[in-house]
Amino acid sequence: MNVNEESADMNILVTGGLGVVGRPLVQELRKRGYNVWITDLFHHHDPQYMKCDVGEFRQLQEIFKITDFDYVYHLAAEFGRYNGEDFYERMWKSNVIGTKNMIRLQEQKRFRMIFSSSSEIYGDYRNVMTEDVPLIQPIRQLNDYAISKWVNEQQIMNSASRFGTESVRLRLFNSYGPGEHYSPYRSAVCIFIYRALHNMPYTVYAKNRRSLTYINDMVDAMTNVVNNFKQGEVYNISGDHNVTMKKVSDTILGILGKDDSLVRYEEVEKHNALTKVADNAKAKRDLGYRTRASLEEGLRRTIEWQEKVYMKGD
């Protein structure tokens, strides 16, 4: 989907614009001709960048004094299950207070919001995850991060009912790809690759299955929301590759030409969903979502990126 002359004049803000998803999203939006502003927690050289902690209302309010935004992609959040447990104070402030701050400004400024939610909100649900499941089926979210994201969605829905705000929610499934720097709190793909590259042990929960989504495919669908914004809609942004985590690890090791002697296998991870199988038909219909990168191709690109970042001079 391409922008036309009218949409090229739109002002778009991306919170969390220096993050793993935020960076390529900003690049794609600008590639399509949008006027994009960025905010995140760090200092940065981009001329349309503003440092801001979304958990601090005054800082966020200052951003909206610069210009009027037509759309806000609200990605700023603390990410991950273990991160949310170990640093829960920061997670609740950023995710829940930060989103409430954004909604308060949305109620005043009337911009349209595109919110980055998570597959984690499906919690212990074991069947195919369609977007209507949380409203018709009792679900127990399995960690604070998941709970915070479902709180966010309810904040957004309540604001739409009470104040007529317009938002679209995107539930991102297991994104992976170049640009994700390693830490023990990052995605399984990132951890597997980094540790395999450095001959470090790692654990694989062999029977857990996930619908992996390559970052470029995800960003393409996210960018397309502006062209087909449907107030109140929610979309699963999920790859078509639903595989066991053992398959993911085996593929990584195969690409690297390594064996699994440093891999510790456990059948399942306790207190985590066994399987995440998403129905992504709505995203394909409305947002032009397509799985363009095969699992092996996506993993190979991610490995090549990590090799460039971490293996220079080794």
Rounded distance between C-alpha atoms, residue 136 and residue 144, angstroms:
22
Percent of the chain with pLDDT over 90: 90
Mean confidence (pLDDT) of the chain: 95
pLDDT surpasses 60 at 279: yes
**pLDDT tens digits, one per residue of 92-118:** 999 999 999 999 999 999 999 999 999
Give the pLDDT confidence score for residue 228 in this predicted structure.
Answer: 97
pLDDT surpasses 50 at 250: yes
* Assigned CATH for 7-310: 3.40.50.720
Give the pLDDT confidence score for residue 313 in this predicted structure.
Answer: 52
- CA 102 from chain center: how many Å? 18
Domain range list for the chain: 7-310
**pLDDT tens digits, one per residue of 37-74:** 999 999 999 999 999 999 999 999 999 999 999 999 99
**pLDDT tens digits, one per residue of 142-199:** 999 999 999 999 999 999 999 999 999 999 999 999 999 999 999 999 999 999 999 9
Give the pLDDT confidence score for residue 264 in this predicted structure.
Answer: 97
Q: Enter the tokens of residue 92.
A: 């609740």
Confidence label for 4 from pLDDT (cuts 50, 70 and 90): low
Contacts 24+ apart (CB under 8 A), 55-60: 55/93, 55/94, 55/97, 55/98, 55/101, 56/101, 57/101, 57/104, 60/98, 60/101, 60/102, 60/105
Rounded distance between C-alpha atoms, residue 182 and residue 160, angstroms:
37
pTM higher than the cut 0.85 = yes
DSSP-assigned states of every residue in 216-242: HHHHHHHHHGGGG--TT-EEEE--SEE
pLDDT surpasses 80 at 30: yes
Give the pLDDT confidence score for residue 271 in this predicted structure.
Answer: 75
Vertex 222 angle, CA 221 and 227, to 5°: 85
